[in-house]
Structure 1
Amino acid sequence: MKTPVLIIGGSGFLGGHLSAALRSRGIDTKVVDVVPSEGYIRGDVRDYKTVLELTRDAGTVFHLAGELPPHGWSKGKKGQMWDIMVNGTENVLKASLENKVKKVVYLSSSAVYGVPLQTPVSENAPKKPLDEYGRAKLRAEELCLAYASKGLDVTMIRPMTILGEGFVGILRAVMEFICSGKPVYILGSGKNSIQMVHVDDIVRGCLLAADKGRAGEAYNMAAGAPIPTVREEMEHMIKHAGTKSGVRPVPAFIVRPALAMVKAAGVAAVGTEVYNLADKTFVLSTEKARLELGWKPTREMLESLDESYDWYAKNRNAVKPTLSPWLRLAMMLP
């Protein structure tokens, strides 16, 4: 790996684990984020001059900066997401090409696929993202391909939902319901499977992509077998937590249209991707990453869920206030 290393958008969950891994190896690493924090350089990917200066001496750039879908969409929030994830990505790519950065690794997402037509999903499967987040990720990938054609060595990673210590992602509400002993409502029977992946495996994937990833190529990364069903995941977490929570299936044909109407009103409790995929099987093929990068997952999903839940239970007082009003209302249901 060419040094020094620059992590853009590095104060978050993955960035913290990646920077710790790099520094533990004695690699000169700088971390940039728009969020002020001790030990980080403050910078905004939307400011090209700032990005140009930050990448000036970098050998390898990990571009992790993004914007998760907020609760309650507005045109302003959609515009902000696009500005950060698309325009910001182009700034990183343009500056990296200008400064002759040796390698760029871009963190994309499995959200670019939308609802899978068949599983396991390979990297060349159709891309039909369901929401603004997925569309922004796909457009950013298109920019990566454009800059690869100009000579920039940029590789993309498409992970499933990342689990581990510090995880505060889409399962936050489920974990709060379990902590509180409230029922966990699942869409459909719960017999479908949705892969996730441990943060340690994605950190290793980032490092391998930096060393071995081909320019203009994308690599799926997700947990390996066994892949539990959604119901098995929920029941396992409840047993692990030791609470009086339970799993309650709800009919998808009733709930999905209602959630779509709520989202259209701009007050969605969950994003489009979540309620459209919740009762579908979504499993990625990671064969390409295995063959080309030498990557394979080492952490099983249920173990990763346990680690995420334990962290949440310990830190719930700090994390709980970020639950949306709709999810707080759902906690009042019997």
Structure 2
Amino acid sequence: APEDDTKGITYEEGDVRDEERIEEGIEAADADVVVHAAAALPLWDDATIREVTIDGTRSVLWAAKDAGVERVVYVSSTAVYGTHDHHPITEGSSLDGVGPYGEAKIEAENICRDFRRMGLCVPILRPKTFIGPQRLGVFQVLFDWVEDGANVPLVGWGKNRYQLMHVHDLVRAMELMFTAEESEVNGTFNVGATDFTTMKADFQALLDYAGTGKRVLGTPVLPAVLALRVLNELGLSPLYPWVYETAHEDSYVSVEKLRRLGWEPEYSNREALIDTYEWYLENYEESTGETGLDHRVAWDQGALRFLKALLKRV
């Protein structure tokens, strides 16, 4: 059995939009540091995204400041950058948030900077897409296809470089934000793997590990995007625009700023994918039938189930 990593942890559930609940929780914790990672994903409606990501961030920061918390680590996203022609993207690159999710993250970061000016230490982490134990969502779709022995189609030909990361490496970056000197961490840092190749090669490594004999299949970008857009608008696919409209483009950031503080990622793209797939095989039970709109549950695949059935046969 896996080692119990929850010893000494008190779990309390609350809504980040509930100011009173947040205040009570932070006061009761008597914490030196708060990690704020709550966000509504792009699948949610625009109003909810803004309430959770912007208003929720403001509530957490006020509650932390009033309770005398020394640091609040804000987990933002590389979605604040949008798409760029030049890579790697650095912390100083221009911001162009994709959709309500990316735009809300930018506004939340601005609130963090307001609180810095009030004397609170607020490190901001901008992680790439991270995977690992408990990560389902869009990756559950991928792992379901791999486990069932289907070929895996991509949007585009898979020659683009797409950086991922393991949640373990993100947690280690958070820990560094707790322990390093305030003058070193009271800023903004990209986080991501340093060992990654092309999307096709990294995903093929997962298929090879699974031993199904299946392949990653490239597709023409325009027809694939149009088809997924129609399915999304009809409510027949869980893949939202940020996923299918950018999946064929290069997407990787520089992590040199964080590395200068002594952080080094332990997982490559391939290792992160394989480790998460192993966790999925050991822990995920499809029989629960639970689906939803966040990264901790499976997504209803809708019409994609029929495509999977077809790609199992070829």
Name the TM tier (shorter chain). Answer: 0.7 to 0.9
The answer as to whether partners of 1:187 and 1:252 remain within 8 angstroms in 2 is yes
Partner of 1:328: 305
Cα deviation, 1:154-209, whole Å, max 9, x if unaligned, reads 11111111122332143221111111111211111111111111121111100101
1:208 equivalenced with 2:176 (yes/no): yes
Asked if structure 2 preserves the Cα contact closer than 8 Å seen for 1:177 and 1:245, the reply is no
The 2-side partners of 1:323 and 1:265 are apart by 16
For residues 303 and 276 of structure 1, the distance between their equivalents in structure 2, rounded to whole angstroms, comes to: 26
| Cα contact 2:137–2:299 (8 A) shared by 1 | no
Moved more, 265-274 or 90-99: 265-274
* C-alpha contact (below 8 Å) 1:183/1:245 kept by paired residues: yes
Q: Which residue of 2 aligns with 1:6?
A: none
Is the CA contact 1:52–1:95 (under 8 Å) kept in the aligned structure 2?
yes
Q: How does 1:244-259 map to 2 (within 5 A)?
A: 244-259=213-228
2:100 corresponds in structure 1 to: 132
- 1:288-309 deviations in Å (ceiling 9; x for gaps): 1112x32121222211111111
Correspondences of 1:224-239 after superposition (within 5 Å) = 224-225=194-195, 227-239=196-208
The one-letter amino acid paired with 1:245 is K
Counterpart of 1:186 in structure 2: which amino acid? L
- Shift in Å, 1:259: 2.7
Q: Partner letter of residue 60 of structure 1? A: V
For structure 2, which runs of at least 5 residues remain unmatched after alignment? 291-297
Secondary structure, counterpart of 1:154 in structure 2:
coil
Letter aligned with residue 323 of structure 1:
W
What CA distance in whole angstroms lies between the structure 2 residues aligned with 1:132 and 1:262? 20
What is the alpha-carbon root mean square deviation over aligned residues? 2.3
8 Å Cα contact 1:173-1:327 kept in structure 2: no
- Structure with greater strand percent: 1
Q: CA offsets, 1:78-111, max 9 Å, x none?
A: 3222211211111001111222211100111111
Larger relative contact order, structure 1 or 2 (CA cutoff 8 Å, min sep 6) = 2
For structure 1, which runs of at least 5 residues remain unmatched after alignment? 1-16, 24-28, 31-38
Kindly provide the CA deviation profile for residues 105-140 of structure 1, in whole angstroms up to 9, marking residues without a partner as x.
Answer: 011111111112311110111111222222222221
Q: Please give the secondary structure, in 1, of the residue aligned with 2:123.
A: strand
Does residue 273 in structure 1 map to residue 259 in structure 2? no
Percentage of pairs with the same residue: 31
Aligned length: 296
Q: TM-score, normalised by structure 2?
A: 0.86
The answer to whether structure 1 residue 260 and structure 2 residue 233 are counterparts is no
Distance 1:222 1:118 in 2: 17
1:80 to 2:56 alignment = no
Q: Give the distance between the partners of 2:258 and 2:236, measured in 1 at CA.
A: 38
For the residue of structure 2 that corresponds to 1:333, the secondary structure is: helix
Structure 1 pair 249/41, CA: closer, same or farther in 2 (3 Å)? Answer: same
Match of 1:181 among 142, 149, 166: 149
C-alpha distance in 1 between matches for 2:46 and 2:310: 31
